[in-house]
Amino acid sequence: MKLHAIASTVVLFLVSTSAFAQDSKTTQGSTNSKGEQASQANPFTTFNKIAYTRLKSILVSSAEKMPDENYNFKPTDAVRSFGQIVGHLADAQYNFCSLALGENNAGLKIEQTKTTKADLVAALRDAVAYCDKAYDGMTDASGAQMVKMFGMDMPKLGVLNINNMHDMEHYGNLVTYMRLKNIVPPSSEQAPAAQQKK
C-alpha cells in the first residue's frame, strides 16, 4: 500500500467517527455491567470492534442495494467492477482475520470465482461472519501479540485496524459506483429516528 492511500484511508476513517460514536452509544446502551467492564478493560479492541461493526454493516448493505445488473459496472476499464470490489472485500476479510486468528487463510479467490450478486453477497456475509470471530475474541492483551504482515512485524490489533482501513477505502469505491447509478449509499441514509423528527 502506498503511504498516500493509507493516509487517505485514515482521514476517511476519522471522518466517519460520528457514525461509529452513534453505534458505540447503541452498543453501550444494550450492554450489561459485564459488557461495560470488558469495554473499560479493553478500550482499544472495543473501539476497533465498534468500527468494524459499522463497516461490515454498510459493506453488506451496499452489496445488497446495488441491483444485479450493475454488478459488472465499472466507471472505466482501468478499475474493478462493483462485483469485483465486493469479491475483493470478501477475500480481504479472510486474509486479515485469518492472520489475526492465527489460522491459515482459506484462499477462496472470491473475486476471481464469483460473479453473480447472489453469490457475492453470500460470500461477503460469510467472510464478515468469519471476521466476527477475530474481533469478538480479541482483547487489548492478545491484540499486542506480534505477527508478520506485509513483511513486517505487526500487532494483531494492527492487522484488524488495517482491515478496517481497507474496508473503508473500498467502501469509498462502492459509494462512488452507487452514486453514479443514482443509488443512495447506506452511510448517507437517514436513520428512522431522524426521519420521524422531520
Q: Output Rg (C-alpha) for the chain, integer angstroms.
A: 17
pLDDT the model gives residue 40: 82
pTM score = 0.80
Q: Supply the pLDDT for residue 32.
A: 53
Residues β-bridged to residue 152: 149
- Residue 129's SS3 state is helix
Return the C-alpha cell found at 35.
459488557
Average confidence (pLDDT) per 10 residues, the chain, 198 residues:
44 42 45 60 96 97 98 97 98 98 96 98 98 98 96 97 98 98 93 53
Distances (CA, A) of 128 to 54, 81, 88, 96: 12, 21, 13, 11
Calpha distance 137→146 (Å, rounded): 16
pLDDT at residue 14 in the model? 40
- CB distance 55 to 187 below 8 Å: no
- Residues 6 or more apart whose CB falls under 8 angstroms from that of 52 comprise 131, 135, 160, 163, 164, 167
